[in-house]
Amino acid sequence: MTRHCVRRGLVRIAAGFFMIGFVLPVFAQPISWTMASRSAAADERYVGEPISMSLRDADLVETLRTFSRIGGFNLIIQPGVKGTVTVELRGVPWDQALDAILRMNGLGMDVTQGTLRVADYETLEREARSGNYDTSPLLQTRRVQGTLANADAVEVARLLDRGPYLSKYGTVKALAGNVLQIEDRIGRVQRIARLVHQLDDAEVAELAADAFDRRAQEIWRSLTPN
Distance (Å, rounded) from C-alpha 182 to C-alpha 144?
Answer: 5
Question: Which of 158, 167, 180, 91 is CA-nearest to residue 134?
Answer: 167
- Residues 146, 200, single domain; the answer is yes
- Residues 189, 118, single domain; the answer is no
CA-CA-CA-CA torsion sign (52, 113, 162, 139): positive
Residue ranges making up the domain that contains 71:
50-128
Bridge-partner residues for 108, per DSSP? 119
pLDDT at 134: 52
- Residues 39, 58, single domain; the answer is no
Q: Model-level pTM greater than 0.75?
A: no
- Residues 205, 157, single domain; the answer is yes
- Residues 58, 118, single domain; the answer is yes
- Residues 146, 217, single domain; the answer is yes
3 falls within a domain: no
79-111 per-position pLDDT tens digit: 989 899 999 989 888 888 888 898 888 888 877
pLDDT at 131: 53
pLDDT at 132: 54
105 falls within a domain: yes
pLDDT at 166: 87
- Residues 194, 172, single domain; the answer is yes
148-196 per-position pLDDT tens digit: 999 999 999 999 999 888 877 788 999 999 999 998 876 678 788 889 9
Distance (Å, rounded) from C-alpha 201 to C-alpha 49?
Answer: 41
- Residues 31, 57, single domain; the answer is no
Name, in order, each residue with C-beta under 8 angstroms of 159's C-beta and a sequence gap of 6 or more: 165, 199, 212, 213, 216
Report the domain count for the chain: 2
Domain end position, chosen among 128, 155, 181: 128
- What CATH code is carried by the domain that includes residue 147? 3.30.1370.120
pLDDT interval class at 56 (50, 70, 90): very high
11 falls within a domain: no
- Residues 109, 61, single domain; the answer is yes
Question: Which of 56, 9, 26 is CA-nearest to residue 190?
Answer: 26
Domain end position, chosen among 128, 159, 179: 128
Q: What is the amino acid identity at position 35?
A: M
Domain end position, chosen among 84, 103, 128: 128
What is the phi/psi pair of residue 77, to 5°? -115, 130
Name, in order, each residue with C-beta under 8 angstroms of 146's C-beta and a sequence gap of 6 or more: 31, 32, 33, 34, 179, 180, 193, 196
- Residues 155, 107, single domain; the answer is no
Question: Which of 131, 117, 135, 28 is CA-nearest to residue 76?
Answer: 117
31 falls within a domain: yes
